[in-house]
Structures are given as structure tokens and as C-alpha cells.
Amino acid sequence: MSFQKIGVVGSGIMGSGVTEVAATTGASVLVCSRTTERADAVLVAIDQSLARQVEKGKRDVEEAAEVRRRITATTEVKDLAECDFVMETVVEDLSVKLELFATLGSVVAPTTVIATCTSTLPVIDLAMQVEHPERVCGVHFFNPVTVMALVEVVRPISASDDTIDAAIDFVRACGKEPIEVKDQAGFIVNALLFPYLNNAVRILEQGVATREGIDAAMKGGCGFPMGPFALLDLVGLDTSLAILDALYAEYADANFAPVPLLRRMVSAGQLGRKSGAGFYQYPR
Ligand SMILES: NC(=O)c1ccc[n+]([C@@H]2O[C@H](COP(=O)([O-])OP(=O)(O)OC[C@H]3O[C@@H](n4cnc5c(N)ncnc54)[C@H](O)[C@@H]3O)[C@@H](O)[C@H]2O)c1
């Protein structure tokens, strides 16, 4: 089964990337944002991303224009009514996602597959907001979406095989590698990655080394492409904090308890690249 009309809700870091890769499958894609400013901004971000790919020789001009022609934007969730697949990419906050799923359930057809991009939240809780919860699953892309090969396809206990198969087909059509995973907080990657990122903040707080020193150590000593603080800034400190809170809520393991410095930085609005400042500064 291949999707013809895809809706993407949310126009942040992930919404923009998911919209772009979804359009490469040949489907038309409608991205839904809360404001016209954000909807316009996401289209500009996609234009810039496609232009970069043309510059780097990854796509030719005509192909990039064809992808872009398939993308439109709206501020009305009801405009997603005709979609046969909807991807949710809004903020990592369970109450926001629960409300959105209830709305989506009342807007789209009962056969529409609905997926969440959540990093850690229980997909089953979202599934239970809609009639026919068997058509809900997780499709967890990684950041930056256009670059990262892996997608975790999350199977809540309610999902049908048809839903999981359709999600896997979609991921492959996006040119990505799907890995099926159980609906358990953090799935594979974040369950393993976030104790490491959290402990990096802990040793920074303890004064073991500078942030530059810790980043350089993990690149040079482990062969990682970027250090923990560059990665936290890329993910977003607010999203990282929400991920750690959800992991701690699920496992009550001290490694997941967010280090106070991270929470303080989020309170100060230091969210990483998206706000212009996090562990590093990002001139705008
Ligand atoms: N950032 C990452 O590296 C990453 C990677 C994989 C998955 N995710 C997941 O993707 C989702 C989105 O993350 P992001 O990094 O794009 O976040 P972001 O902060 O860049 O974007 C969040 C989006 O949610 C919208 N939003 C905020 N509050 C809302 C509300 N009350 N109602 C409706 N929409 C609201 C914002 O307008 C924005 O469009 C989260 O579930 C996150 O866990 C993030």
C-alpha cells in the first residue's frame, strides 16, 4: 500500500524534514501549522534544503522542483480530511499530542493511518484517542531528517500488521531504513543515547572538563561525528528534557533523571540551535 495524500502536523525541526522526505515518495503533502507565519517559514526552510541538495549535486533542479510542487501548507487541521496518512510532529508533550490525536480521529477517515514522531511518549496512549486504534503507530525519524538513514517504526500493542507494513513501506519509499521496535520509552536509540547525553551534562556541571573538551573527547576518542553538547543543541534542549522526563517516568532509573543544569537552561530559553543559544551560540 502506498500513500497518495500525506498530512504532516507541526512545522518545527521535524515537521519540516518529514514534509520534505514524504514529498520524495511521490505523494502530495499538506503540512499543517498553527500560524500562517510558521507555515510560510516551513516552506522557506524546505526551499533552502532542496536548494542545498541541488548545490551538492544530490538532486537535479527539475527533481527538486517536482518535490517542492507536491508540498502545500495550511493552518486548519480539518484540511487533512482527505489524507490517507497523517504524521504528527508537534512538541514532545503528552497532553498536546493526546488532544491532537483526538482531533485527528474526528477529522480523517477511519482507514487513515496516523503516526506519531514522538521520541519517548507511549504510542498506545495516543492510539487510544482515536476510533480504530489499530491504525496508529510510531514513525520515529531522526534529525536531520533529510540526512539520517534510520527510522524506528514503533508497534503499540494495539497496531495491526497492515498498519506496521504500511508504515514500513512508507519509510522505504522515503529512502530510509526502517527498524521495527516495541512501544517502550526511548525505543532503541534514545533509550541508549540519552543516559550518555545526560551524563555529559553531569560531568560538565561537575567541572570535569569544558564543553569543548568533552565534545572533542567523544569525537576523537569514540569516533562520534559530533560531541554530546553539539548534539543536544541540534536536538533542542527542551525536546531533550522532555525525552529524559519521559524516560525517567517509565524506568525510574537515575541515569534518566535530568541533570539540573539542563532544566535551568530550558527555563532560561536556551534551547540550542533553534533559539540561537544553548551550550554554544548560533549567530542568526
Ligand atoms: N529534535 C529532534 O532531534 C527530534 C528527533 C526525532 C523526533 N523528535 C520528535 O519530533 C517531535 C517534534 O520535535 P521538534 O524537534 O520538531 O520540535 P520543535 O520545537 O522544533 O517543533 C515543535 C512543533 O510543535 C508545535 N507546537 C508547540 N506547541 C504546540 C501546541 N500546544 N499545539 C500544537 N502544536 C504545538 C510548534 O509550533 C512546532 O511546530 C517531538 O515529538 C520530538 O520528540 C525530535
- Residue 1 clears pLDDT 80, i.e. is over it: no
* pLDDT for res 10: 97
How far apart CA 273 and CA 141 sit, in angstroms, is 19
Q: Is 202 in the pocket of ligand 1 (CB under 6 A)?
A: no
Tell me the whole-structure pTM to 2 decimals.
0.95
Q: What is the pLDDT of residues 123-165, one digit of tens each?
A: 999 999 999 999 999 999 999 999 999 999 999 999 999 999 9
| Residue having the nearest C-alpha atom to atom 25 of ligand 1 | 90
Give the residue-averaged pLDDT of 220-249: 97
* pLDDT for res 284: 79
- Residue 19 clears pLDDT 70, i.e. is over it: yes
Give the residue-averaged pLDDT of 219-238: 98
Provide, for the chain, the percentages of residues in helix, strand and coil under a 3-state DSSP scheme, each rounded to the nearest 5.
50, 15, 35
For residue 281, give Cα distances in angstroms to 34, 204, 262: 28, 17, 16
What is the bridge-based pairing of β-strands 150-155 and 136-141?
Answer: antiparallel
| Residue having the nearest C-alpha atom to atom 24 of ligand 1 | 90
Q: What angle do CA 214, 236, 186 make, to 5 degrees?
A: 90
Q: Look over the chain and give the mean of its residue pLDDT values, rounded to a whole number.
A: 97
Centre of ligand 1 to C-alpha 284, Å, is: 21
Ligand 1 atom nearest the C-alpha of 11 is 39
Q: Is 235 in the pocket of ligand 1 (CB under 6 A)?
A: yes
Q: Counting Cβ atoms within 10 Å, is residue 98 exposed (0-12), middle (13-18) or buried (19+)?
A: middle
* pLDDT for res 272: 98
Centre of ligand 1 to C-alpha 14, Å, is: 7
Centre of ligand 1 to C-alpha 9, Å, is: 10
Q: What is the pLDDT of residues 74-108, one digit of tens each?
A: 999 999 999 999 999 999 999 999 999 999 999 99
Contact (CB, 8 A) for 104 and 114: yes
* pLDDT for res 2: 87
| Residue having the nearest C-alpha atom to atom 15 of ligand 1 | 13
Q: Give the residue from 76, 124, 126 showing the smallest Cα distance to 105.
A: 126
Give the residue-averaged pLDDT of 61-74: 97
Q: Is 14 in the pocket of ligand 1 (CB under 6 A)?
A: yes
